[in-house]
């Protein structure tokens, strides 16, 4: 919230300086300040921590990506699509720390808000299928895998889906899972 307040004050100050420089006749500085104000205004539209996190994911640095995505503490203030991706990435990176139930809830919430790309929807459903398989819901996991297979247009997750299907075929029933957990 402090960063938002600083950004708001900076944007208001830059807007005032832009108008003042045009009013006093300094057209060159006014044009430069319009560009600077536009850059600061763009930070209201697109969250910089999300941009840094996605950039580190592309380069393969998962630790830094997790660090930046966990810096976003209030995703409800973001635009709808960005909120979906923040919740999706937080569920993916923190699945070991927050547990299966919370991870499943976050992934379902991200899917309900709306992920833009098909492979992101497929990956979310693949992870949901993994959570369902670990909690003993084999039928739901199979339907989620079928949906993920439909959404994977590029074939990037073809091997992962096949591996998950073979694991589900060899998985014990729900009662056997409960008995194993009780032991």
Residues near 154 by beta carbon (within 8 Å), at least 6 away in sequence: 119
**Cβ(21)–Cβ(33) below 8 Å:** yes
What pLDDT does 19 receive? 95
Digit-coded pLDDT (tens) for 103-123: 899 999 999 998 888 888 998
**Cβ(30)–Cβ(18) below 8 Å:** yes
- Residue among 107, 117, 108 nearest 153 (CA): 117
Environment class of 45 (CB within 10 Å of its CB; exposed 0-12, middle 13-18, buried 19+): exposed
Digit-coded pLDDT (tens) for 11-66: 999 999 999 999 999 999 999 999 999 999 888 888 888 889 988 988 988 899 99
What pLDDT does 34 receive? 95
Q: What is the pTM of this model?
A: 0.74
- CA dist., res. 145 & res. 182, Å (int): 28
What pLDDT does 164 receive? 85
């Amino acid at each position: 919230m402090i960063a938002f307040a600083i950004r708001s004050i900076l944007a208001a100050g830059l807007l005032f300086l832009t108008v003042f420089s045009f009013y006093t006749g300094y057209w060159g500085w006014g044009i430069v300040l319009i560009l600077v104000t536009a850059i600061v205004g763009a930070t209201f539209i697109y969250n910089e921590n999300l941009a840094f996190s996605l950039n580190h994911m592309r380069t393969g640095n998962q630790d830094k990506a997790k660090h930046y995505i966990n810096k976003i503490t209030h995703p409800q203030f973001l635009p709808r699509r960005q909120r979906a991706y923040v919740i999706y990435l937080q569920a993916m990176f923190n699945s070991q720390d927050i547990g299966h139930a919370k991870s499943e809830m976050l992934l379902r919430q991200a899917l309900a808000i709306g992920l833009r790309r098909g492979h992101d929807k497929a990956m979310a459903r693949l992870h949901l299928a993994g959570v369902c398989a670990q909690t003993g819901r084999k039928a739901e996991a199979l339907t989620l895998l079928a949906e993920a297979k439909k959404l994977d247009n590029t074939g990037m997750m073809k091997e992962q889906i096949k591996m998950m299907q073979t694991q589900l075929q060899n998985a014990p029933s729900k009662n056997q899972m409960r008995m194993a957990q009780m032991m």
